[in-house]
Amino acid sequence: MARKYTIEDIAALAEVSRGTVSRVLNNHPAVNRDTRQRVLELIEQLHYRPNFSARHMRTHSSNLVGFGLLTDEVITTPYAVDMIRGAQDTLWGLGKVMLVMNSGYGSDLTQAALEALLERRVEGIIYATMYHRAVEIPEQMAQVPVVLANCYSAARDYPSVVPDEVAGGYRAARYLLQKGHRRIGFINLGHSHDGGEPLAAAEGRLAGYQRALAEFGVPYEPSLVVYTDHRPQTHYEMTQRLMQRADRPSAIFCGNDRTAMGCYNALLSLGLKIPDDVAVVGFDNQKDIAEGLWPPLTTVQLPHYAMGQWAVEYLLRSSSAEGAPIQQKLDCPLVERASA
């Protein structure tokens, strides 16, 4: 077994004090360049790793940030990966480490994940969800700074960062209106996966769609808006329903990119070409779908990476924040491809 070197070993070999090695490890400025270089070369050569537990006891700071993903979906979904990358890239640049807990929707799992993070004395917690919704925050979370990502508390008593759903829906519909379309079907998202409250994303995107129609003087027709239950078959059927109308739409705005997949299949089965016969715009910019469809899907970008970044940056400066917790909305830009 390879020998595990200690900080004392490094100090002896570099002919410096233990304190000097410690200052090098903590990037303290009070070390001259030659000494710093000599110590760093030895650390790399001997594959030395500082004792985390000892450092934790000495500094009373774990240098850890907890990132709680509250979802029943696997943690490798594109949305989770993008949000985690945004948070991790920011933390890594600051020399901090992120612990990721995937707790599921169950309250017992959430409680266990929270206890695990608090036991490790994390400096703060990013409490994130897989879809934009209101959440209830466990009381214990008040022990550390908390930022909500892709979710918010009903009382707005925690800082949060969410997509600007209204602006995203407006941008999608406005793009189609600018292309000359005046009958725009909308396959909107239905209720949450557990059958609970209407999705914030669905309400916001509908409001944006209505705002764009009003701006162009196009009357809002409720019958052009249908709702999916998130099943692929339903996406197909909703498209068929819209296209069976005598006054069928010339464009369809899909509530997310997965809905657009079913929409594409339905239009293909009807012998209709995209975008020549019917234009299609999605929402999410899930690249495996948007770039994999043919023609590639014009869609609206959900800012998962940016939400992870913003949450970390706010969390690390929250100790100096004053006033009501900020409720931040991030832009959802349109990604233009060939479907509209």
Residues 230 and 289 in one domain: yes
Q: Is the pLDDT of residue 295 over 50?
A: yes
Share of the chain above pLDDT 90, in %: 48
pLDDT given at position 300: 98
pLDDT given at position 278: 98
Across the chain, what does the average pLDDT equal?
Answer: 85
By C-alpha distance, which of 160, 148, 256, 238 is closest to 201?
256
pLDDT given at position 142: 77
Distance CA 288, CA 174 (A): 25
**What CA–CA distances, in Å, run from 89 to 94, 122, 150, 329?**
9, 18, 18, 21
Residues 136 and 88 in one domain: yes
pLDDT given at position 29: 73
Q: CA-CA-CA-CA torsion for 8, 13, 17, 22, nearest 10 degrees?
A: -60
Range of the domain at 44: 7-50
Residues 103 and 252 in one domain: no
In a domain, 55, yes or no: no
How many domains does the structure of the chain reveal?
A: 3
Other CB atoms within 10 A of residue 244 CB: 9
Q: State the alpha helices, DSSP H only, in the chain.
A: 7-14, 18-25, 33-45, 52-59, 78-92, 107-119, 165-178, 200-215, 232-243, 257-269, 287-290, 304-317
Q: Tell whether pTM > 0.85.
A: no
Which pLDDT band holds residue 190 (cuts at 50, 70, 90)?
confident
In a domain, 339, yes or no: no
pLDDT given at position 176: 98
pLDDT given at position 24: 81
Distance CA 121, CA 68 (A): 14
Distance CA 206, CA 226 (A): 11
Residues 27 and 113 in one domain: no
CATH code of 319's domain: 3.40.50.2300
In a domain, 177, yes or no: yes
Q: pLDDT per residue over 129-187, tens digit each?
A: 888 888 888 877 777 888 999 999 988 989 999 999 999 999 999 999 999 999 999 99
Which pLDDT band holds residue 1 (cuts at 50, 70, 90)?
very low
Residues 223 and 321 in one domain: no
Residues 90 and 140 in one domain: yes
In a domain, 1, yes or no: no
Residues 118 and 237 in one domain: no
Does 108 or 313 have the greater pLDDT score? 313
pLDDT given at position 53: 45
pLDDT given at position 50: 61
In a domain, 70, yes or no: yes
Q: pLDDT per residue over 50-86, tens digit each?
A: 654 444 444 445 566 666 555 545 455 677 788 888 9
pLDDT given at position 106: 58
CATH code of 38's domain: 1.10.260.40
In a domain, 337, yes or no: no
Share of the chain above pLDDT 70, in %: 85
Residues 73 and 16 in one domain: no
In a domain, 57, yes or no: no
pLDDT given at position 79: 74
pLDDT given at position 80: 78
Residues 262 and 169 in one domain: yes
Q: What is the mean pLDDT of residues 268-293?
A: 96
Residues 149 and 252 in one domain: no
In a domain, 297, yes or no: yes
Q: What is the mean pLDDT of residues 197-226?
A: 94
Distance CA 267, CA 230 (A): 18
Which pLDDT band holds residue 191 (cuts at 50, 70, 90)?
low
Residues 323 and 293 in one domain: no
Q: Is the pLDDT of residue 234 over 60?
A: yes
Residues 152 and 222 in one domain: no
* DSSP per residue, 87-126: HHHHHHTTT-EEEEEE--S-HHHHHHHHHHHHHTT-SEEE
